[in-house]
A and B are shown apart, each in its own frame.
Chain A
Amino acid sequence: DVKVTQSSRYLVKRTGEKVFLECVQDMDHENMFWYRQDPGLGLRLIYFSYDVKMKEKGDIPEGYSVSREKKERFSLILESASTNQTSMYLCASSLLAGNTGELFFGEGSRLTVL
């Protein structure tokens, strides 16, 4: 069965802390994505990666960075967390090298920054 696993379901961090959100997929997918979900705004794309060590900015990359050292793992990094980064973070992957593939999502990581 298809599986995207996010390392933490719930995190509470303090302003200024460095935060790592990990995502692993077991489907040998090419593409991986990080979205954040906020009420009234839906899912907004932060970064995506279409290959190992490759990354592309999405709509809201400011304050975030990503790392993809292995095909199955895509990490989202908040270098210095701020309260406006309190959100639900969703990782996803897709098979196709293009952009017509269905996305498979993890269960989400709810981050609260105090």
Chain B
Amino acid sequence: DQQVKQNSPSLSVQEGRISILNCDYTNSMFDYFLWYKKYPAEGPTFLISISSIKDKNEDGRFTVFLNKSAKHLSLHIVPSQPGDSAVYFCAASGDGNNDMRFGAGTRLTVKP
């Protein structure tokens, strides 16, 4: 039972354009959401997060949007760069446990 879903296994965009990665969740108790980035042969690294009291959080080229009613969040990367090519994982926590649930990941390829 995957509580966090990333339905697009891969995404390819041109350098300089916008990348939009999507994530859906089923557990309404989640109140904190994070995006992690993973390069091959490395562990995931934290990218950006958002609390459920907000609907947008921005950090440089990265913006996360949260739509609580739809249980949906998205990560926007503008402008996309070849170095952004990686697997992006959506994660959620806050259902009363001390753990964190991850989606299956989306592989982003940014073409020069």
Binding site for B on A (CB under 8 A): 4, 31, 33, 35, 40-45, 48, 50, 56, 58-59, 90, 92, 97-100, 102-108
Stretch at the interface among B13-21, B55-63, B99-107: B99-107
A102 near B49: Cβ-Cβ < 8 Å: yes
| Chain B count of residues within 8 A CB distance of the other chain | 29
Closest 3 CB pairs of A and B: A105-B43, A42-B104, A43-B102
Measured between beta carbons, the chain B residues less than 8 angstroms from A42 are: 2, 4, 6, 89, 102-105
Task: Tell me the chain B residues, 20-51 only, with Cβ under 8 Å from chain A.
Answer: 31-32, 34, 36, 41-46, 49, 51
Q: Which of B64-72, B73-81, B90-98 contacts A (4 or more CB under 8 A)?
A: B90-98
B9 near A: Cβ within 8 Å? yes
Tell me, rounded to whole Å, the shortest Cβ–Cβ distance linking A3 to chain B: 11
5 contacts between A and B (CB under 8 A): A42-B102, A42-B103, A43-B91, A99-B32, A99-B100
Q: Are A99 and B98 in contact (CB under 8 A)?
A: yes
With A and B bound together, what is the CA distance between A43 and B36 in angstroms? 11
Per the bound structure, the CA–CA distance linking A31 and B43 in Å amounts to 17
A105–B44 CB distance below 8 A: yes
Closest Cβ of chain B: how far from A91's Cβ, in Å? 8
Q: List 15 other contacts, CB 8 Å, given A90-B44, A99-B100.
A: A33-B99, A43-B105, A45-B101, A48-B98, A50-B98, A56-B98, A90-B43, A97-B98, A99-B97, A102-B49, A103-B34, A103-B91, A103-B100, A107-B42, A108-B42
- Of the residues B41, B44, B51, B99, contact of A99 by C-beta under 8 Å: B99
Once the chains bind, are A45 and B100 in contact (CB under 8 Å)?
A: yes
- The answer on a CB contact under 8 Å between A99 and B94 is yes
**Do A43 and B89 touch (CB < 8 A)?**
yes
Please determine whether A58 and B99 come into contact, CB atoms closer than 8 angstroms.
Answer: yes
A41 to B4, CA, bound (A): 11
> Contacts A35-B102, A43-B102, A56-B99; is A100 near B43 (CB within 8 Å)?
no
Residue in B closest to A92 when the chains form the complex, CB atoms:
B43
Chain A positions within 8 Å of B101 at CB level: 45, 59
